[in-house]
Chains A and B, each alone.
Chain A
């Protein structure tokens, strides 16, 4: 069965800290890995990764994929209280070609002032 596991499940830091969120996966016919940020509403898209070793960056957030070791990390530098959210990792596969997402449990990040 396809599986995505995130760690840690929750994290509390102070503003200005740097955090690293982890996502490991075991899926058949892996296609891509995606990161989403979920505040109180809809998950919003952050990154999509398909190739190993190529860092994607957006402001203070960056992410990289390792297809050999089957994991990805999401880094947030100089955290702010507005970064407090649930961060979701998901994969897509070529199986069935449906485009459905397989999510991990999420990491709840709380950034204290």
Chain B
């Protein structure tokens, strides 16, 4: 069991480009969460997905950000037309039925916008 796999680990994008962050959950986990960590801040919830469904996107910026978790393949967090303020570490976590102990975090993708 490889745990939660996120890639790439580091991503550099120029302003205006698109960033695609991938998250492969623990095998058998059907719940995925995305969190963003800005410098000097804790993790902030962005979105919660189950297979093919967005359950809670209350933490997602209204524009440029989208997320999906298709029936097959990894969950994708997509940021269009990136700006410098998007530079952060993006963490994915997955769980099975256990809402607390079952959480497993990935190692994160560090996005730098230049």
Contact = CB atoms under 8 A, between A and B. Distances in A.
A45 B103 contact: yes
Interface residues of B, number: 26
A53 interface: no
Nearest to A48: B100
A31 B31 CA distance: 19
A43 B101 CA distance: 13
Contacts of B55: 98
Contact of B101 (A4, A48, A88): A48
A92 B100 contact: yes
Nearest to B6: A42
A92 B42 CA distance: 15
Interface string B37-81: 000111111001000000110010000000000000000000000
B33 interface: yes
Interface of B: 3-4, 31, 33, 35, 40-45, 48, 55-56, 59, 91, 95, 99-101, 103-108
